[in-house]
């Protein structure tokens, strides 16, 4: 266990505006993941008290570089960053849009993906490729074709042009193209 930058609370870093903080202003923790099955995640570096702000790599240097990339991406996409030593909980992406069509999502997961919608968390930023991203390119192509074919068969709608969109957009495309149900 290696800790770095532990004197942060006594420095002027805490007086800086939150959007001007740098990675060097934070206490970081270096660790080796002994249970890692993949070489590219054997080493990790994370910011203490900031859940999810972590970098992984084949060595500590690579892990730190990845942490820096993640930190810079966070700064780019957020108005401010937490102060050093401020506890930062894990934030989940919104699921508002996907839940607007919850009944459809339940049906789609069951009939097309063969899984239960309620046994996972699916956000407005979930894509169909997230369900099989850990397979080789040839298998990805076969799975993509299979999902497109299942949707054609079940809904009589071609999603080829929207397949790479986020799930809420794919759902809305299918819903918009479906013929209205006939009520008796």
Q: Which residues of the chain have pLDDT under 70?
A: 1-19, 133-134, 181-184
What is the DSSP-derived secondary structure letter of residue 92? P
Q: Give strand pairing partners of 166.
A: 127
How much is the pLDDT for 150?
96
How much is the pLDDT for 94?
87
- Using left for φ > 0, alpha for ψ between -120 and 50, and beta otherwise, residue 172 falls in alpha
**Residue position matching structure tokens 């240097």:** 61
**Residue position matching structure tokens 């930062």:** 88
How much is the pLDDT for 131?
82
Q: Are 109 and 115 in contact (CB under 8 A)?
A: yes
Q: In the chain, where does DSSP find H-type helix?
A: 60-77, 96-100, 102-108, 137-155, 167-177
């Amino acid at each position: 266990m290696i800790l770095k930058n532990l004197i942060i609370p006594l420095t002027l870093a805490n007086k800086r505006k939150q959007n001007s903080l740098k990675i060097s202003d934070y206490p970081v923790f270096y660790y080796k993941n002994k249970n890692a099955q993949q070489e590219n995640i054997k080493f990790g570096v994370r910011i203490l008290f900031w859940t999810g702000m972590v970098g992984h790599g084949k060595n500590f240097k690579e892990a730190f570089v990845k942490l820096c990339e993640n930190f810079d991406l966070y700064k780019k996409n957020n108005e401010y960053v937490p102060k050093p030593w401020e506890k930062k909980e894990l934030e989940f992406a919104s699921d508002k849009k996907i839940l607007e069509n919850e009944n459809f999502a339940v049906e789609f997961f069951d009939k097309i993906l063969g899984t239960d919608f309620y046994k996972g968390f699916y956000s407005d930023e979930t894509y169909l490729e997230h369900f099989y991203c850990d397979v080789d390119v040839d298998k990805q192509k076969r799975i993509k074709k299979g999902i497109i074919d299942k949707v054609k068969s079940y809904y009589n709608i071609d999603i080829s042009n929207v397949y790479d969109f986020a799930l809420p957009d794919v759902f809305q495309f299918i819903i918009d193209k479906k013929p209205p149900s006939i009520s008796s």
